Amino acid sequence: MLNARSSLGTRVVVRASTGPAASGTRRFAMSESHPRPRPNARATNHDDVSCRAPASPGGLRHLGAVEAAALDTALMSDKHGFSIDQLMELAGLSVASAVAEVYSPLPPHPAPARVLLFCGPGNNGGDGLVAARHLHHFGFKPIVCYPSGGRSSRPSSCLYSGLVKQLEALAIPFLEVEQALELDADVVIDAMFGFSFKGEPRPPFDSILTRLAGADDGPPIVSVDIPSGWQVEQREIGDREKLIRPDMLVSLTAPKVCARLFRGRHHYLGGRFVPPEIKEAFKLYLPAYPGTSQCVRIG
């Protein structure tokens, strides 16, 4: 029997209609008529989503796709010296830190939380792979669904295959899509598509997004940088029934324009490394990070 956890609520509600369950995984068994209790903290009703973006909170500047790409280019310039794998490492650490801050199990339920990560084929997916490694070391039980498997003809493919090997060395399981959608998890991380994504998602990500969008009673969803399936410069909510509605958004370096539409309960910023010159050039006005934290709550 599945038990509710005080900080996490009932486990996964994502359900696949076909495909075998992975060995050792548990199928979801609660009726959809019994909604999952929300984690504690400030509740926000996702049904209250406005069609218009609100004013920018805290004076933070929200970046569009062109500005976000230019920011990454500036960071990786000869002058500033960051590399793609370094940025990915910092991003994944920020995501894992935010998840640990909000979704760590509370006594008397000390069992590690099971975190299911859906990772896409690009940099956003790489951030998810890094987050999985850090979550493991933070005491969580990450499980990864990575349809591309790090197999790519791109020059950076060795980076992704290396991230996969790091997870395999920790015995972190990888599941096929059908198995992942049957998994009983506490938290789902959406690391499928980032700010450079355009158009409609292709298989198998379209079916994953459709399932997550319909899982209102499912586990909390954490989106990395932007919710997958949203357009980075989206300013209005269209058919919200077709969009995933994450409980947490972890914006990276700076929030993107579509983050103004976010109505989940936890909005964090990760990216405690931006040089002052770049902050000034892009007029980021970033908040102070507390203590030694790699993330800061901004909503």
Q: How confident is the model at residue 88 (pLDDT cuts 50, 70, 90)?
A: very high
Section 243-261 average pLDDT: 95
Strands 266-270 and 295-297: antiparallel
The structure tokens 């040089």 sit at: 275
Q: Which amino acid does the sequence have at 148?
A: S
270, 250 Cβ separation under 8 angstroms: yes
More confident position, 238 or 154: 238
Strands 248-252 and 266-270: parallel
Residue 241 has a pLDDT of 62
Q: Is residue 270 predicted with pLDDT exceeding 90? A: yes
Residue 217 has a pLDDT of 81
207-222: pLDDT as tens digits: 999 999 987 788 999 9
273, 255 Cβ separation under 8 angstroms: no
Q: What are phi and psi of 47, to 5 degrees?
A: -75, -10
In DSSP notation, 236-274 reads: S---GGGS---SEEEEESS-BGGGGG--SSEEEEE-TT-
Q: Which amino acid does the sequence have at 169?
A: A
Question: What b/e readout covers 145-179, taking b as 16+ CB neighbours within 10 angstroms?
Answer: bbbbebeeeeeeeebbeebbeebeeeebbbbebbb
CA distance 140 to 112: 5
- Please report how the helices 157-169 and 123-137 are oriented relative to each other, as an axis angle in degrees rounded to 10: 20
C-beta atoms surrounding 291 within 10 Å = 4
Q: What is the average pLDDT score of the chain? A: 80
Residue 222 three-state SS: strand
127, 97 Cβ separation under 8 angstroms: no
CA distance 185 to 181: 10
Handedness of CA 14, 218, 57, 88 (dihedral sign): negative
| Both structure tokens of 69 | 């790409």
Section 79-87 average pLDDT: 97
| Both structure tokens of 282 | 């892009």
Q: Is residue 190 predicted with pLDDT exceeding 90? A: yes
Q: How confident is the model at residue 296 (pLDDT cuts 50, 70, 90)?
A: very high
CA separation (Å) from 197 to 93, 122, 162, 194, 201? Answer: 22, 9, 23, 6, 9
Q: Which amino acid does the sequence have at 149?
A: G
128, 92 Cβ separation under 8 angstroms: yes
More confident position, 240 or 202: 202
CA distance 7 to 30: 18
| Both structure tokens of 111 | 């069992």
